[in-house]
Structure 1
Amino acid sequence: MAVDMQMTAVGLGVFFLLKRTKARLAAIVLSVAAGVATPAMATYYNNVHPIMVLSPEATVNWFVHDPTFNYLYKRGHTNLIGYALGWALGYVVFNLRNSDVGAKKYKKYGVLVWLILPSVLAINTIGAVFYDHTVTVPLYACAIYAGLTKLITGLLFSLALFLTIVKANKLRTKLYCWQGWTPLARLSFCLYMVQMTVLRYRSASTHTMYHKSEFKIFQNFLETTFVSCLISVLLFLTVEAPFARLTRLGLAPAQKKHAD
């Protein structure tokens, strides 16, 4: 939440304080460069893993003792790249607002949509080497991976969003715009808030040893997702929705007055 707030403030500064297009583009380019460099430097100088190496013991102490989480995941500057790419994407989409979105010139790129998920899985598969304790990965390689993996993953997701917005692939666009996603979309903020707590609680409350397998991992994933959704529904109905309604009611008189 702190990182989201910091990066939101930086983004507002880029687009509201900088009035010229060249200045905004320069700020975005510098942010992307800094977003690549900072996780690489943090990995190299603090001698940490470039990714979270998960284990039941580490899950309990993520927010306190895990150096990778502390140096790479909860600091604003080491998460800058994703936000910078989001600013760039938003700027491009904003400039396309008067163009023919869905035009034939974008259709030829529709096949790229199907390559995005395999590419992300390939990047994650490469990161599996850090779980192998028999392999010693050079520190410079860890730094390179830490810097490039966020850049490449961010570019792939930005490309997926852009191709969906310009309707380059009709099937994917219909899938992403399916009304069945609406309930989950309404729960997304509450899920974001509670899922890590549920995961940590489940890990900390396990007092017996069990065999770790792909089936067990998938079972834990489904159970954690189900419990997180139940809690999120309660939070949405009792906290988020009522406060959102109160906010709209509070702004309604001002909006009505402005309309008059």
Structure 2
Amino acid sequence: MTATDALHLLKQERGLVIAVIVLAIIGAVVAGRIMPPAASATAQVQVYDDARAASLLGIGDGIEAPEHDVLMDTHIRLATSPTIAKRVIDRLGLSDTSHIVLERVTVTALGRSTVLAFKATAPDADAAVKLADTWVAEYLAWRTESISSDLTAASAALAPRITAAEAQLAEVEARIKAGGHTKEIDTALIAAGNDYEELLADSARLELLASVEGPPLSIVSGATVEDASQVLSIAINALKGLIAGALLAVLLVFVRHRPTPASQPE
């Protein structure tokens, strides 16, 4: 069958084609009204883009604030980890796996700002709001726990180094007291003193960070439901019905005019 033949058949059966398309559009619109799409809710969180955030996040060796993209990408990666999903599942008593729950939540940066948008999708508005707010709460709680644990571990690792530096400095001072100053001993004294001062500065910095309550994050707004335009929803459903109806109509026309197989010779 050529394209011309196909067009001729469709024109010949235009009544059937139009009827099927109209019924498909009506069915799609009605189905969309009876079974509304899943609701979405979005919460916003502010990220502190400063040296404190860099220190608490553990990005880099210094205390300089990280690049914007590095800072935001780090938060997005951490906020969408299976660890957070598991905490949310336990908090809400969900029966889904972490993988399934992660498919319902997205975390993105709003443009070049330092605001993260936590968007959750659920069967109804209340569930979407609850999922988004719980996700934010669990992420902030996890960051607080992680930072506290990291600072405790860092302090524990620093303590023996300070003790060793004190012993080294005391040893050099004892050598000076016993034998006086020499170029070698003075060089050792300067090195030991510098090491000791750097370790004390690190200890003071850890104490300062430990005194800060909470992670470098704050909630800008709780989850709010996104109001979808009913006109847009109807238009989308109508378009889906149009496409499905057109395909079905073409299929029906070709089935009705399917050539009869040639008779087999005896």
TM-score range, shorter chain: under 0.3
Which one has a bigger Cα radius of gyration? 2
Question: TM-score, length-normalised on structure 1?
Answer: 0.21
Structure with greater proportional helix content = 1
